[in-house]
Amino acid sequence: MHNTEKFMKSLRLSEIAKIVGGELVGAEDPVITGGAGIDAAGPGDLTFLAHGSFGRALADSQAAAVLVGPDLEVGIPAIRVPDPYEAFALYLELFLTDLDRVFPPGIHSTAVIDPTADVSRAQAIGPYSVIGPGTVVGAGSRLGTHVVLGSDVVIGDECLIYAGVILRENCLVGSRVIIHAGVILGSDGFGYFPGAQGIRKIPQVGIVEIRDDVEIGAGSCIDRATTGRTVVGQGSKVDNLVQIGHNVVIGKTCSLSAQTGIGGSSTLEDGVTTGGQVGIADHVKLGAGVKVGAQSGVTKSIEAGQTLFGTPAVDFKESFRLFANLRRLPELMNRVRRLEQGNGSGPDESEDNKHNVEGQG
């Protein structure tokens, strides 16, 4: 027998309704094979409508059924619940591998704990983890296999720290923080002084501080400050392979998609979001709620609430217009040619123009 089918199984919608404490709406009782957010849901999936959503959000969804709040009418099979998100999480958690299997409780006999460290309240420390002198792990926190905490690190309560995570000396982590495999916190910032005898290193003596409820994706790197602190604010979410430079300060509930890079000493105020592969220069400030589209490069400070795109990043509507205009250049060139030939009117029919007609909206 293969082990692949044991972690997810099909359920009737009515069974799910019982499990999440909701009420089946409508006559149909489809088989549900998975679940996803409303944008990602495919055939067979259960999805959910957040509080305040409208049923028409379902129009483009392939979902087989939906979890809805008290007052919403929808056109597909549904379960009515007080809090659709809570019910959805409850449904998915049916299939979540038990934390005690991923992080077996207790301190593994092979973990190397410095006698001056305090891990007495930790829920789990995995094989071959190494905890340095003066380090403290809070109540209920779980550390996986091969986790390395340097000296004088502080980890708060109820954290999950996956395999292979490395935190260097003096770094601080709040409570309910999730750090995924291979994350590196507190490596030296990239600070040099271009001297006469070559490039000379500026000692990096600050720390990294990760506040409560942050989640950091696999393989991401957050550098320690030159002096002071590199900060990731409460509730912010950082995706995989993200680079955060020294002395960066990130506010609350920001969301940084994969492979984003933030240059040294920049500030992101609360609620900033970046798409994948965004680059933000050093020494800039992004105001609260700024949204930066994927692959954009932000070269200067941006006021709160703006939505940006492109490199260099400008207002997304301007960016889209710039690109549309660029595609209209062949047409414009033809029009100028006609003017030069003394014929300034009428549509252009040249071959060059036809190639680009798609861009002329």
The residues annotated as belonging to the active site are 246
By CB under 8 A, name the one of 59, 71, 115, 195 that touches its own copies. 195
Q: Which is nearer to its own copies, 27 or 215 (CB)?
A: 215
Structure tokens at 91: 């449904």
- Piece of 11-19, 65-73, 284-292, 331-339 that binds its own copies (CB under 8 A): 331-339
By CB under 8 A, name the one of 12, 18, 200, 354 that touches its own copies. 200
Q: Which is nearer to its own copies, 26 or 276 (CB)?
A: 276
Q: Which is nearer to its own copies, 27 or 341 (CB)?
A: 341
Q: Which is nearer to its own copies, 25 or 309 (CB)?
A: 309
The CB-of-189 to its own copies minimum distance in angstroms stands at: 9
Residue matched to tokens 């779980």: 142
- CA trace torsion 324, 325, 326, 330 (10° rounding): 110
The CB-of-29 to its own copies minimum distance in angstroms stands at: 19
Tell me, residue by residue from 271 to 300, as one string, x for binding to its own copies by CB under 8 A and - for no binding.
Answer: -----xx-x-xxx----------xx-x-x-
Report 20-59 residues binding its own copies (CB under 8 A): 33-37, 39-40, 45, 50-51
Report 95-114 residues binding its own copies (CB under 8 A): 95-97, 101-102, 108, 110, 112
Q: Which is nearer to its own copies, 11 or 74 (CB)?
A: 11
Report 224-253 residues binding its own copies (CB under 8 A): 226-228, 235-237, 239-241, 243, 245, 247, 252-253
Q: Which is nearer to its own copies, 239 or 269 (CB)?
A: 239
Q: Which is nearer to its own copies, 27 or 98 (CB)?
A: 98
As a three-state string, the secondary structure of the chain is: CCCCCCCCCCEEHHHHHHHHCCEEECCCCCEECEECCCCCCCCCEEEECCCCCCHHHHCCCCCCEEEECCCCCCCCCEEECCCHHHHHHHHHHCCCCCHHHHCCCEECCCCEECCCCECCCCCEECCCCEECCCCEECCCCEECCCCEECCCCEECCCCEECCCCEECCCCEECCCCEECCCCEEEECCCCEEEECCEEEECCCCCEEEECCCCEECCCCEEECCCCCEEEECCCCEECCCCEECCCCEECCCCEECCCCEECCCCEECCCCEECCCCEECCCCEECCCCEECCCCEECCCECCCCEEECCCCEEHHHHHHHHHHHHCHHHHHHHHHHHHCCCCCCCCCCHHHHHCHHHHC
Phi and psi for 351 in degrees, rounded to 5?
A: -60, -45
Q: Is 265 in the site for its own copies (CB under 8 A)?
A: yes
Contact present, 85 and 50 (Cβ < 8 Å): yes
The CB-of-14 to its own copies minimum distance in angstroms stands at: 19
- Piece of 10-18, 61-69, 70-78, 323-331 that binds its own copies (CB under 8 A): 323-331
Q: Is 9 in the site for its own copies (CB under 8 A)?
A: no
The CB-of-27 to its own copies minimum distance in angstroms stands at: 26
The CB-of-59 to its own copies minimum distance in angstroms stands at: 16
Report 336-355 residues binding its own copies (CB under 8 A): 336, 339-342, 344-345, 355
Closest CA to 246 of 268, 226, 260, 217: 226
Report 124-163 residues binding its own copies (CB under 8 A): 126-128, 130, 132-134, 136, 144-146, 148, 150-152, 154, 162-163
